[in-house]
Structure 1
Amino acid sequence: MNMSNLLPYRWRVKHQAGRHNEAIAGVLDTPPLVPRRDGLVLFSMIGTAVVLPYLVAVKSLWQHLGRGRVAILDDGTLTAQDRAILAAHLGDPQILRIDEVPQGPFPKGGCWERLLTILDHRAGEYWLQLDSDTVTLGPVPELERAVASNRSFTMLGGDDVPTEALDLSEFVRRYYPDGPMDGHVQSRVESRLATLAPDAGWKYIRGCAGFAGFAAGNAGRDLAAAFLRRMATAIGNDDTAIWGTEQVASNFLVANEPGAVCLPHARYLNYWGEPWGEDAAFVHFVGAHRYDNGAYLAASRQAIAQLKR
Structure 2
Amino acid sequence: MATLSEHLHWHVAQAWHLRRARGILATPPIVPRDDGVILYSMIGTRVLLPYLVAVKSLHARLGRGRVVILDDGTLTAADRRTLDHHLGNPEIHGIASVDLGGCPPKSCWERLLLLLELRRDHYVIQLDSDTVTLGPVPEVADAIDAGRDFTLRGESDSEWMPLDAFLATRPDVDPCDPATHIQAAAEAILGRVDAGLPADRHYVRGCAGFAGFAPGGLGPDVARAFSAEAEALLGRDNWKRWGSEQVMSNVIIANEGPPVLLPYDRYLNYWNEPLPGDAAFVHFIGTYRFHRGAYVDATLRASRSLAA
Do the structures match in fold with TM over 0.5?
Answer: yes
- Matched with 2:64 is 67
Task: Look up the equivalent residue of 1:126 and give its one-letter code.
Answer: Y
| Counterparts in 2 of 1:187 and 1:87: CA distance versus 1, 3 Å | same
1:19, distance to aligned residue in structure 2 (A): 1.8
Deviation, 1:13, is 3.0
The letter of the residue matching 1:172 is L
**Which residue of structure 1 lines up, in the alignment, with residue 135 of structure 2?**
138
Is the alpha carbon distance of 1:262 and 1:174 closer, same or farther for their aligned partners in structure 2, counting shifts above 3 Å?
Answer: same
Are 2:173 and 2:184, in contact at CA under 8 Å, matched by a contact in 1? no
Q: 1:228 to 1:277 in 2, by over 3 A?
A: same
* Structure 1 counterpart of 2:40: 43
Q: Give the distance between the partners of 1:36 and 1:107, measured in 2 at CA.
A: 34
Local SS of the residue matching 1:24: helix
Quick check: 29-38 or 261-270, which moved more? 261-270
1:285 aligns with 2:284: yes
Q: Distance in 1 between matches of 2:139 and 2:39?
A: 16
SS of residue paired to 2:100:
coil
Deviations for 1:161-180, whole angstroms, at most 9, x for unmatched residues? 12x2x22221110122x454
Percent identical? 49
Question: Partner letter of residue 246 of structure 2?
Answer: Q
What is the one-letter code of the residue matched to 1:223?
V
Secondary structure of the corresponding residue to residue 24 of structure 2: helix
Contact 1:189 1:234 in 2 (8 A): no
Tell me, in whole angstroms, the C-alpha distance in 2 between the residues paired with 1:189 and 1:11: 33
- How many pairs align? 302
Distance of 2:111 and 2:167 partners within structure 1: 27
Shift of 1:238: 3.0
The answer to whether the Cα contact below 8 Å between 1:64 and 1:140 also exists between their aligned partners in 2 is yes
What TM-score do you get using the length of structure 1 for normalisation?
0.92
Is this contact kept in 1: 2:42–2:70, CA < 8 A? yes
Aligned-residue offset at 1:7: 3.4
Change over 3 Å in CA distance of 1:20–1:199 after alignment to 2: closer
Q: Does the 8 Å CA contact 1:180/1:192 hold for their aligned counterparts?
A: no
Aligned twin of 1:150 = 147
- 1:87 and 2:84 equivalent? yes
* Deviations 1:137-159 (CA, angstroms, capped at 9, x unpaired): 10001011001222111110111
Question: Which residue is 1:207 aligned to?
Answer: 206
Distance 2:156 2:62 in 1: 24
| Equivalent-residue separation in structure 2 for 1:42 and 1:160 (angstroms) | 27
Corresponding residue number in structure 2 for 1:170? 165
**2:109 paired with 1:112:** yes
Which runs of structure 1 show a deviation greater than 6 angstroms over 4 or more consecutive aligned residues?
none
TM-score (norm 2): 0.93
Shift of 1:12: 4.1
Q: Distance in 2 between matches of 1:103 and 1:233?
A: 16
Secondary structure of residue in 2 paired with 1:211: strand
The alignment's C-alpha RMSD in Å is: 1.9
The equivalent position to 2:118 in structure 1, one of 121, 141, 145, is 121
Match of 2:298 in 1: 299
1:153–1:260 contact (8 Å) kept in structure 2:
yes
Aligned to 2:193: 196
Secondary structure of 1:200's counterpart equals coil
Work out whether residues 103 and 228 of structure 2, in 8 Å CA contact, stay in contact via their aligned partners in 1.
no
Q: What CA distance in whole angstroms lies between the structure 1 residues aligned with 2:241 and 2:5?
A: 23
Shift of 1:204: 1.1
Which residue type is aligned with residue 271 of structure 1?
Y
Matched-pair contact (CA < 8 Å) for 1:169–1:193: no
Residue aligned with 2:253, SS: helix
Equivalent residue of 1:213, what SS? strand
Q: Which moved more, 1:97-106 or 1:199-208?
A: 199-208
SS at match of 1:127: strand
